Amino acid sequence: MKTYATKDIRNIVLLGHASSGKTTLVESMLFEANAINRRGTVEEGNTVSDHYQVEKERGNSVFSSLMHVAWKDSKINILDTPGYDDFVGEVVSALKVADTGVMVLNATQGVEVGSELIWEYTEKFQTPMIFAVNQLDHDKANFENTVEQAQQRFGDKVTVVQYPLEVGDGFNCIIDVLKMLMYKFPADGGKPEKHPIPAAEEERANELHNQLVENIAEFDETLMEAYFEKGSLDEEEMVKGLKLSMLNHQIFPLFCVSAAKNMGSGRIMGFLHDIAPAPADRPTVLADSEEPLVCDAHGSPVLFVFKTLSEPRLGEISYFKVYAGSIKGGSELYNARTSNSERFSQLYLLNGKQRDKIDTLNAGDIGVVVKLKETRTNDTLAPKSVSSRIEPIGFPSPRIRTAVKPPDKKDLEKTAVGLQQLQKEDPTIRIEQSKELKQTIIHGQGELHLAMIKYRLEKLYKVEIEFDRPRIAYRETITKATSTSYRHKKQSGGSGQFAEVHMKVEPYREGMAPPEGLTVRNEQDYDLEWGGTLKFLWCIVGGTIDAKYQNAIVKGIMRVLENGPMTGSPARDIRVSVYDGKMHAVDSNDMAFMLASSQCVKTAIKQAKPVILEPIFDVEVLCPDDVMGDIMSDLQTRNAMIMGMDSDGHYQKIMARVPLRELYKYSSTLRSLSQGRAKHNRRFAAYAAVNREVQDQLVKEYNEEAVEA
C-alpha cells in the first residue's frame, strides 16, 4: 500500500441525521475512486460501511466506520458516523480526528434534529464544514427549503456552491457556481459531462457566484482589495480564500448530490482534494501545553487513540491518528497514561471490515492496530522521551439509566467482565455498582444505546441479561427544630457503660445563625459522601461531658444519618448541637457515647417532621413546533416544573425540572411523541421533598420489606 505525505492526506467525517444517506454516499465515493467495483445498498445489507450484523439487521449505522480512497494524488480517509443521537460517542470521537466535516442533509426533510445536535460538536471542535444536500432525485425533494433551513440554523456562512437544475425524477444536472459549469450525469450516474450554464440559468448562477466571491473576500484584506480592484477573484484567489475561510469556520460551502444515483460524489471529492484542509493546516491541542503540536512526518511519533473496539477472533482493535512523526510496523511507543510500552506489531488500513497491511503511516494519517495491551480510547502514545499528550475527547454525560437484573450465578463474572469491556470501548457508557441501591446500574445515551449494550453482551460474551427499573437514591432530612436527650446505661458485672447526651437538632442551611441560648465551644462541618452537610456544634459548658468524647458522639450521629429512620435512605443537611449530658468516671467510654448519640439523634429526627427528598433533574428538550404541545402535556403528567421555553434555530427548546422517578423510559416516550424528531438531555439539579402521598407509600414499602426480611 502506498504511503502518503501529510500534505496529500484529507481526513473527513460524514455527519447527519439518520437516513440522510451518509452510508450510501460512502458507497458512491468508494465506487467513483475504484476502491470497489460494485455499489452496495443499505436495503441489501452489503455496504462497505455498515458491515456489522446488527447494522444490517437495523438498516442504519451503529458504529463509526473507517474507509479510505485514493483520489488524484491524495488519500481521503472517510469516517462514516451513526445518525442517531444514542450513538453520539461514535460521532464525537470521529470529529476529534477529522479535519473536515461533511454534513449530509436529506432534501425531503430539510435540517433534522440529529443534524442540529451534531452541529454543537462541530462548533466545539471548530471543524471546517461543507454541506451535501442529498436525495435530490426524490419526488418530495425541496432544495430551496433545505438551503433556507440550513442558513436559518447555521447562519449565512452556509454558501451555495451548487444547485440542481431540476429535482425529483428529472434530477441529472448540477450547476456549479464556483467552476461556473453545468454537470450533466448519465442515467446510471458516474462521471458527468461538462456543459456551459444554460442561458435561462445565467442570471441566478451569476448572482450566486458573486455572493460566493463576496463571502470569500470578506474575511481577507488582500482578497477584498483584489475584489474591489477587479470586481471578481480568479480561481487561484478563490481557492486560497475558500481554504482560509473554511479553516476559520467562516464559510460552509454547500453541494448537491444523489448518493443513490451516484451523482455528485466525484465533485465533492475533487473539492476535498483541492480545497479542504490537510492535517497540518489545523492546530493540535495538547493537554499539558499551550504550544500546538507540529504535524510533521519528520518529528518524533505521537499517536492518539480515538476509538477501541473488540471483535471475535481478532481481539481489541485500536483506531489511531498520527499527530506527528511517522509510525512503522514493529515500532514501540509508550502510553502517556500508564507509562508502559506498547508494540505496534502490524499496521492496517481499513475499508469497513477489510484490513490492508501497510508498512508506514505519516503524520496526519489514520490507521488501526490490534492487540495493544493496556491502551484505550483517549490515550496518547509516543517515545519515552516525548512528554506531549493530546487533549482527550470530552464525551457527553449519560442521559438514561437502567438496572440489570441479577443473572444466574454462573454468569455473574462473565457479565461483569463484559460490562467493563463495553465501558472501556465506549466512554459514553457508565457502569455503576450501587451499594446504596443494591443494583448494577447502566447509564447510557438512550434506549437504542441500552439495547445495543444488551445485544453485544449476548453476542460477544454469551450472557443474556434483563433490564429492570432502577431504584431511586432518595434522601431524608428534617423540617423543624427539636430537642431531646437519651441515657445509655448498661451494667453486666464489672465495669459497665454509661453516657447521657442532650442535643438540639435542626434543619441546616448555610449561613444560619448560632442556636439561641447556647454557647458554641467548637463547631465542625462534615461534607457527607452522599451529599449535603452535617453541622456539629459542641456547646457543653462546665465539663458535664468531656471533650474527648466528641468524635464518638459524631460517629454515633453518622451511623444514623447513613441509614435514615424513615426509609433507610441517607439523611442530610442537619445541624446537631450537643449542649448537656452526663458521664461516669469509670463506666463512660467512646462506645457508650456513640450508642447514646445514635439513639438520641434517631429520636430527634422522628420528632422533627422528617421528609423524604428525591433527586430532581434539569431536562432540556429540543423539538419541532408541531409536537411541542404533546411534549409539554406529557411533561406535566410527570410532575414537571416548566422553567422556560426558547427557540433554537427552527426548533423549540423546552426547559423543565422533573423528578428522576418520572423519567424512566422517557426517551422512548419522547421518540414516540415526536416520531423520532425530538431529543433531550438531563443533568442533576437538586433534591426536593416528595409529596405526602409519595412519602407515605415509600415508608410503607420500606416497612413491608423490613418485615419480609
Domain residues of the chain, as ranges? 6-206+245-281, 302-382, 400-468, 476-608, 612-694
Side-chain half-sphere of 368: how many Cα atoms within 13 Å?
Answer: 27
What pLDDT is stored for residue 479 in this prediction? 96
What pLDDT is stored for residue 237 in this prediction? 86
Rounded Cα gap, residues 524 and 59, in angstroms: 60
| Grid cell listed for 410 | 454462573
Do the domains at 400-468 and 612-694 have one common CATH topology? yes
Which of 90-94, 414-418, 566-570, 653-657 has the weakest average pLDDT? Answer: 414-418
Rounded Cα gap, residues 262 and 246, in angstroms: 26
Rounded Cα gap, residues 308 and 329, in angstroms: 19
CATH class given for the domain over 6-206+245-281 = alpha beta
What pLDDT is stored for residue 493 in this prediction? 63
Mean pLDDT confidence for 624-642: 94
Read off the pLDDT band of 280 (50, 70, 90).
very high
What pLDDT is stored for residue 233 in this prediction? 84
Summarize pLDDT for 173-217 with one digit per residue, the tens.
999 999 999 999 999 999 999 999 999 999 999 999 999 999 988
Range 476-608 classified under CATH 3.90.1170.50: no
Summarize pLDDT for 550-563 with one digit per residue, the tens.
999 999 999 999 99
Percent of the chain topping pLDDT 70: 99
Residue with the three cell numbers 473527513: 12
Mean pLDDT confidence for 512-539: 95
The mean pLDDT value of the chain amounts to 93
pLDDT surpassing 70 at residue 58: yes
Q: CATH homologous superfamily for 400-468?
A: Elongation Factor G (Translational Gtpase), domain 3 (3.30.70.870)
Q: What is the DSSP annotation of 342-397?
A: EEE--EEEEETTEEEEESEEETT-EEEEE--SS--TT-EEE-TT----BPPP-PPP
Which of 122-131, 261-270, 306-315, 599-608 has the weakest average pLDDT? Answer: 306-315
pLDDT surpassing 60 at residue 406: yes
Exposure of 675 by Cβ count < 10 A (0-12 exposed, 13-18 middle, 19+ buried)? exposed
Pairing state of beta strands 302-311 and 252-256? Answer: unpaired
What pLDDT is stored for residue 311 in this prediction? 80
Summarize pLDDT for 369-382 with one digit per residue, the tens.
999 999 999 999 99
Global pTM value: 0.88
Read off the pLDDT band of 679 (50, 70, 90).
confident
Task: Sort residue 330 into left (φ over 0), alpha (ψ -120 to 50) or beta.
Answer: left
What pLDDT is stored for residue 310 in this prediction? 86
SS3 504: strand
Positive/negative CA dihedral, 464, 666, 119, 42: positive
Rounded Cα gap, residues 407 and 426, in angstroms: 23
Range 612-694 classified under CATH 3.30.70.240: yes
Read off the pLDDT band of 649 (50, 70, 90).
low
Pairing state of beta strands 9-15 and 482-490? Answer: unpaired
pLDDT surpassing 90 at residue 221: no
Rounded Cα gap, residues 575 and 572, in angstroms: 9
What pLDDT is stored for residue 285 in this prediction? 79
Side-chain half-sphere of 434: how many Cα atoms within 13 Å?
Answer: 18
pLDDT surpassing 90 at residue 388: no
Rounded Cα gap, residues 505 and 507, in angstroms: 7
Where is pLDDT greater, at 146 or 623? 146
Mean pLDDT confidence for 634-648: 94
What pLDDT is stored for residue 141 in this prediction? 97
Rounded Cα gap, residues 342 and 316, in angstroms: 13
Measured in residues, the chain has a length of: 709
Percent of the chain topping pLDDT 90: 78
pLDDT surpassing 70 at residue 349: yes
pLDDT surpassing 80 at residue 709: no
Mean pLDDT confidence for 116-140: 94
Range 302-382 classified under CATH 2.60.120.260: no
Mean pLDDT confidence for 587-598: 96
Calculate helix-pair angle for 113-125, 143-154, nearest 10 degrees. 40
